[in-house]
């Protein structure tokens, strides 16, 4: 795991490119405290910060092929690197035992054709000195990020973090008003847009080639390909056959993800997903595992007791931390400075990662991704219910529909969001994505200053999903909508930023290309039982799991924000929502923002806190000091 950066500019002196890349490297020290490197070849300067996971004594980057043609910087982990190494041994004399050299050899031999062969999480850049072109790529799910800035003269900068690009001194930090609007809609800024006007993100499963001042981006992996059976695949014909197959697939992905030359641990909650991983890790490694959890003083929110019970059953060396609102209030400036983009989520990962690194592990596994594959979110039920009613709604006479929509527009948040869905759900993909809207359209427009509020904008992934999945089942569409939307834009992005802030490599075995492909190609009836979410996962691991786990009521991991926001976090919020703070950027309607905050304080809506908190983080992020830029 690393932070990577680069500057491609034929007209700029190498020494100036090196200075810019070194500034980017310095901004990513937390991503790679073990090693650093910056080198130039012709038009290109590449840099990296390394967190050593495989063969720590070797693997310095940038890494070059023996003939000097290819030069690589790489962030991530290639889990099948040993199999690829054996395949490449006839054409490459390997000097290290790390996955970086295998990736370099694969790119040198197959070029872009290497991408479908990679099993792992990755973002990398490879410079071809012979053809004077750069290949950049991001893994199929967007576990690892890569951001790019192109200048009018055709030059290009890239980095693992937006903060690093700004630190280069060559990239402007102007906020994109459309990105602000997107954030209010989706709790994030969906790729390829970022919060900054001049920077774009590669989307999951994309690669780009820069040559002669032009960057061309294409998709090498899509939602359709994730639902396409691989060679030799046979769908399960019975639930028993599916359960046995799922067990084998789970063991395979966990076995791949626990390989490292440094200590490996896991996040552990009171729920099924992380407990399943810890159970498999313990079974496959035969060692006592270090596990980490976050609890709260308020027992109504805390899973600490359940996590400790799971750990005892599994024989784990468990480390529990208690997080208080006072601690978050003390750390809030540091937390906001750590963000690459605004987010209403991720603080739990920040503190869990901090605890894991302090507890002696360099790699931790997370249960992220199981809800998307096995129907664990309540939003799935909403999608199915609305899908049944939409044909009826569409034949209701226009004047009646208009009157109902107008009435619902004046109702509570749930009513307003229902009206938005009925207006804009024109495909199964759009219907599924709309379940993740944060603010209703009328509220979103009211929060933005005059001239800033744009018309309704669909999610950036909607068109591709609608085209890729036109013949897929509704369950598959909903699953892929969460994979390409909420999981990629919020969960994985936050997990990368927050874990790397503490120099921790966070791995997600449920978000593994072969595993996702196998599960996605199986009959929906075997994967999902509506009244028993994720029972398929529980059945596959029944012999390993604590007996009482399956009888516990599911509870999502939620911090006690609603309590903290009226207590220790209130001073931060009062300051953030002050007229001076809200008005500083010129992007917001201050009275509307302040009214939203006051409505939260006066009300008892148990869900409204998330929207208010997300709004506060957006305002505070935009107002925070940023590195000097171009």
Cα 583 to the chain's mean position, in Å?
30
Question: pLDDT > 90: what percent of the chain?
Answer: 87
Starting at the edge strand that comes first in sequence, how are the strands of the sheet with 363-365 ordered?
317-323, 290-296, 264-267, 363-365, 505-507
Starting at the edge strand that comes first in sequence, how are the strands of the sheet with 147-150 ordered?
35-41, 44-50, 2-8, 156-159, 147-150, 200-201
User: 21: helix, coil or strand?
Assistant: helix
Q: Is the pLDDT of residue 554 over 90?
A: no
Q: Are strands 200-201 and 147-150 parallel, antiparallel or unpaired?
A: antiparallel
Q: How far is CA 355 from CA 194, 323, 343, 350, in A?
A: 30, 11, 21, 9
Residue 294 annotated as lining a ligand binding site = yes
Residue 2 designated active-site: yes
Q: Is the pLDDT of residue 77 over 50?
A: yes
- pLDDT tens column, 506-550: 999 999 999 999 999 999 999 998 888 899 999 999 999 999 887
Kindly list the structural domains of the chain, giving each domain's residue range(s) and its CATH number in brackets, ordered by start: 2-221 (3.60.20.10), 234-375+486-541 (3.40.50.620), 378-483 (no CATH), 561-623 (no CATH)
Predicted confidence band at 54 (pLDDT cuts at 50, 70, 90)?
Answer: confident
In this prediction, residue 199 carries a pLDDT of 98
Q: Where are the alpha helices (DSSP H) in 28-120?
A: 81-88, 99-110
In this prediction, residue 2 carries a pLDDT of 86
Q: How far is CA 16 from CA 27, 40, 165, in A?
A: 17, 11, 15
- Calpha distance 427→480 (Å, rounded): 14
Residue 367 annotated as lining a ligand binding site = yes
User: 386: helix, coil or strand?
Assistant: helix
Do residues 447 and 615 make contact, with C-beta atoms less than 8 angstroms apart?
yes
In this prediction, residue 413 carries a pLDDT of 85
Over residues 251-256, the mean pLDDT reads 98
Neighbours of 74 (CB within 10 A): 29
- Calpha distance 454→456 (Å, rounded): 7
Residue 99 annotated as lining a ligand binding site = yes
Looking at the DSSP bridge assignments, the partners of residue 266 are 291, 365
Residue where the block lists tokens 């963000």: 339
Structure tokens at 481: 């909508």
- Calpha distance 529→23 (Å, rounded): 52
Q: Of 354, 297, 285, 299, nearest to 326 (Cα)?
A: 297
Q: Of 258, 269, 503, 263, nearest to 360 (Cα)?
A: 263
Predicted TM-score (pTM) of the model is 0.95
Q: Which has the higher per-residue pLDDT, 605 or 241?
A: 241
Q: Is the pLDDT of residue 605 over 80?
A: no
- Looking at every residue in the chain, the average pLDDT score rounds to 94
Over residues 271-294, the mean pLDDT reads 95
In this prediction, residue 628 carries a pLDDT of 55
Q: Dihedral of CA 308/311/317/320: which sign?
A: negative
In this prediction, residue 630 carries a pLDDT of 45
In this prediction, residue 155 carries a pLDDT of 96
Do residues 308 and 321 make contact, with C-beta atoms less than 8 angstroms apart?
no
Range of lowest pLDDT (420-429, 480-489, 526-535): 526-535
Helix (H) or strand (E) holding 333: helix 325-338
Q: Of 277, 302, 294, 308, nearest to 346 (Cα)?
A: 294
Predicted confidence band at 390 (pLDDT cuts at 50, 70, 90)?
Answer: very high
Residue 452 annotated as lining a ligand binding site = no
Q: Dihedral of CA 362/367/372/373: which sign?
A: positive
Q: Is the pLDDT of residue 614 over 60?
A: yes
Q: Of 479, 509, 541, nearest to 246 (Cα)?
A: 541
Q: Which string of DSSP letters, residue by residue, matches 565-627?
A: TTTTTHHHHHHHTSHHHHHSSS-B-HHHHHHHHHHHHH---TTHHHHHHHHHHHHHHHHS---
Phi and psi torsions of 199, nearest 5°: -125, 135
In this prediction, residue 179 carries a pLDDT of 96
Q: How far is CA 569 from CA 222, 294, 327, 333, 598, in A?
A: 41, 19, 10, 12, 15
Find the angle CA(381)-CA(383)-CA(389) to the nearest 5 degrees: 105
Peptide bond into 568 cis (omega under 30): no
In this prediction, residue 133 carries a pLDDT of 97
- pLDDT tens column, 105-150: 999 999 999 999 999 999 999 999 999 999 999 999 999 999 999 9
Do residues 614 and 573 make contact, with C-beta atoms less than 8 angstroms apart?
no
Phi and psi torsions of 118, nearest 5°: -85, 130
Cα 156 to the chain's mean position, in Å?
24
Q: How far apart are the first and last CA of the chain?
A: 29
In this prediction, residue 1 carries a pLDDT of 66
- Beta strand spans in 453-550 (E): 505-507
Over residues 559-580, the mean pLDDT reads 95
Catalytic entry in 2, 98, 170, 207 = 2
């Amino acid at each position: 795991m690393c932070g990577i950066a680069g500057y491609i500019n034929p007209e700029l002196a190498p020494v100036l490119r090196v200075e810019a890349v070194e500034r980017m490297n310095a901004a990513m020290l937390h991503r790679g405290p073990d090693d650093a490197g910056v080198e130039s070849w012709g038009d290109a300067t590449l840099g990296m910060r390394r967190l050593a996971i495989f063969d720590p004594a070797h693997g310095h980057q940038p890494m070059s092929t023996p003939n000097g043609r290819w030069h690589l910087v790489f962030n991530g982990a290639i889990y099948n690197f040993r199999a690829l190494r054996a395949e490449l041994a006839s054409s490459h004399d390997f000097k290290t035992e790390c996955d970086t050299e295998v990736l370099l050899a694969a790119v040198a031999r197959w070029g872009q054709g290497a991408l479908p062969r990679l099993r792992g999480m990755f973002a990398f850049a490879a410079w071809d000195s012979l053809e004077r072109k750069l290949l950049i790529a991001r893994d199929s799910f967007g576990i690892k990020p890569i951001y790019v800035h192109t200048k009018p003269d055709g030059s290009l900068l890239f980095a693992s973090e937006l903060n690093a690009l700004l630190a280069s001194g060559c990239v402007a930090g102007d906020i994109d008003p459309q990105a602000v609007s997107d954030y209010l809609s989706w709790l994030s800024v969906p790729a390829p847009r970022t919060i900054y006007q001049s920077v774009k993100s590669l989307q999951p499963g994309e690669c780009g080639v820069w040559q002669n001042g032009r960057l061309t981006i294409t998709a090498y992996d899509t939602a359709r390909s994730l639902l396409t059976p691989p060679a030799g695949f046979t769908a399960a014909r019975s639930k028993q056959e599916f359960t046995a197959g799922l067990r084998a697939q789970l063991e395979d992905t966990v076995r791949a993800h626990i390989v490292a030359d440094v200590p490996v641990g896991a996040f552990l909650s009171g729920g099924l997903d992380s407990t399943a991983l810890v159970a498999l890790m313990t079974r496959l490694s035969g060692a006592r595992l270090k596990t980490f959890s976050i609890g709260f003083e308020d027992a109504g929110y805390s899973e600490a007791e359940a996590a400790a019970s799971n750990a005892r059953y599994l024989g784990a060396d468990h480390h529990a931390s208690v997080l208080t609102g006072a601690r978050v209030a003390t750390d809030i400036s540091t937390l906001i400075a750590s963000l690459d983009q605004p987010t209403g989520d991720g603080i739990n990962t920040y503190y869990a990662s901090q605890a894991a690194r302090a507890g002696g592990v360099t790699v931790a596994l997370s249960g992220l991704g199981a809800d998307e594959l096995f129907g664990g979110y309540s939003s799935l039920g909403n999608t199915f219910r609305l899908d049944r009613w939409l044909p009826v709604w569409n034949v209701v006479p226009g004047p009646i529909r208009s009157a109902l929509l107008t009435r619902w527009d004046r109702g509570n948040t749930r009513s307003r969001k229902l009206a938005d869905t009925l207006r804009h759900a024109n495909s199964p993909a759009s219907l599924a994505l709309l379940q993740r809207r944060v603010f209703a359209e009328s509220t979103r427009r009211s929060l933005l200053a005059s001239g800033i509020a744009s018309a309704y904008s669909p999610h950036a992934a909607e068109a591709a999903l609608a085209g890729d999945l036109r013949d897929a089942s509704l369950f598959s569409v909903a699953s892929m909508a969460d994979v390409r939307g909420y999981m990629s834009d919020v969960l994985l992005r936050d997990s990368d930023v927050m874990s790397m802030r503490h120099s921790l490599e966070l791995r997600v075995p449920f978000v593994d290309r072969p595993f996702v492909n196998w599960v996605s190609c199986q009959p929906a009836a075997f994967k999902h039982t509506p009244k028993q979410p994720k029972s398929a996962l529980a059945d596959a691991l029944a012999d390993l799991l604590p007996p009482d786990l399956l009888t516990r009521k599911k509870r999502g991991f939620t911090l006690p924000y609603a309590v903290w926001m009226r207590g220790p976090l209130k001073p931060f919020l009062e300051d953030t929502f002050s007229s001076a703070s809200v008005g500083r950027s010129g992007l917001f309607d201050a009275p509307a923002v302040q009214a939203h905050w006051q409505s939260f304080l006066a009300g008892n809506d148990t869900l409204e806190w998330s929207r208010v908190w997300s709004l506060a983080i957006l305002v505070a992020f935009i107002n925070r000091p940023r590195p000097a830029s171009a």
